[in-house]
Structure 1
């Protein structure tokens, strides 16, 4: 069938009759009528005709009706996008729909099928209502499916969220257990403060990451046979267990050499040569301090480590600059031993760079450290390292392991008794993220 049309009403009814003859579903019929009307109306308004052609195609597994609307005098290409019934085949002036037929008895007009009679106005209205009802039913069905999908999606999301919560809780439990084990290992590595007449000691340690409390900042303190107190502060390169292992090997090597009686100025170089064959990647800054409580004599040897800060009982704190290179550095060892004398009431603060470089400015950090020590030097020794660290870390731009160790002379003791009363303090409780020993 091929026919030319000049009127939209006639075209609409022809399309509807065609769809009825092939028993197309009401919703497909309505979409085809609307699509043909949308394409033809601009042509009719311009005074141009349109041609409607229908072909029955039985060459496919499912017979189909091919309907083509052509605008021979169209001034511009037909708008085929966003039609109610999608048209898979288009050209500049024509649009073709390939519509699968609903059943085996559907087919073209033939000897056994009479052409449809013209529909009355009541029939047209009834068919229009039928098409509308079909469209509304489809819309209602899609809305119901949409609500069901939203409900199922909400249930799925709730289940996934609950699973994530459970996994996060388990991860948190594992992290806490892991952190507890590491804290216990760290506590085992950190020596208790020796109790020595005329001398007070305290320490603060805080890891860069509280969830992983191991790090490369480590200290060691012990009394030598002659009554002097030896203190080692180590900052091994890196973070975590690997840096802890490096710091432990350094402190153990230094302790062994010190107890063997090697001079203070030679210990760093000897430590380097002892450890390099076993750990060529090891790099660590080291600070060595010897203090005789009987005389107040103080010796400092440094290997690339931040200088200790000496705060006199009266006077402005000042840094004790001792030159040298650390373990794993070129030309490792101390250049010389710096000597000072401490008096009762004097305070010595040893630390790692995590204390002074938290704001990424070493000069500014050292200036703030002097002020912090001046402010807190009068406090009980057990409070000083914590208070100084808190003062220095009000703003942290660069998180790093932090160690602050304080020694204060209380009174000079006679040389005859200096080697006698060296006792160990009992084990003390330690906090999860920092420890104080006083």
Structure 2
């Protein structure tokens, strides 16, 4: 049986550490929102842009990953992502106002936007097919450890050394990445691109993503900016037209004509929407409604995230042995049951019950998410894998940003308790929709067999 060398393993871990760093900073900052609203004398809806700006930067940058992977070596991309992250983290840690803090977060997002798809591209390019599920799970494990530790890490530091220390201490991760990866991150096989980068398509998609979140964010004022809605429609239509007719290189939109790919792409992004929405809602609910400390609010997510992260390789192994059906169906049913309980019994939830429910939630979510992401990438031809990775990462990051925005919006408009409850009911609808998409995927698989 083919084995994965230590050098390959360390290279994968080194790249994953950069993605880990960005996600760690993002999830650690969620528990600081009540503190930052006082420090900068503003409201929660503005402060949540500390997370949303990061996620938007990741999303926009990930859209370029297919081109970057074909145009530049994986080693160069890794080094660039490390140094951009270090610069952004220093800026954020030294920020004395929100615009400077957002600049630092955007730079961190650009770094993570390079590193996150690169991790999975390296796995797909260097790991034998028989072990692809396990190593996709291991790559997800490194990245998933960030949301596991992030809220607790942030909560401890906010209560002791202050919010700025979140950034300064986090610099350990990119430095460790440099040490481990200097001799192990090597260039992977590329499919060189001869066409120029399609800057117009990139600009249209970026405008669409950013303006969409702005429109959702403005709903707190109870109004819809129809000019911005018009921009959303125009840029989306223009982007699709450009993608179908351009001779330049950006994203291969032909993947959206593949029923099997789309049927898994949507669940992947919807799982991210619900998880990042809850990752913002739960700590805020605990602090504002149950009056727990920042530490306990952050700690509430740690056991579930940690257990889910370490189970990812096992879920990958299940995929290797049994295929996608078991993890997708079982994982989604667990996910559905937990969000149903959260929605119905929101007002009766306490710290311990939230911790237990979140553990089960993450197990179900990660089981289905890992299976869906692996199956989606395995199904596409080798020459299209970087495009598939870029599309998957783009949409899941955008939906994660949207989940954060919707979560903050619901709690700002309805309060911590009712905002949590309504988000739970929304998650039930999403779970049912995902079930339908999973069924569509397996039906399409039978027809193609």
Q: Give the TM-score normalised by structure 2.
A: 0.25
Q: How high is the TM-score relative to the length of structure 1?
A: 0.26
Larger Rg: 1
Report the structure, 1 or 2, having the larger strand content. Answer: 1
Name the one with the larger helix percent: 2
Q: Per chain length, whose mean CA-contact separation is higher, i.e. which structure has more relative contact order (CA < 8 Å, sep 6+)? A: 2
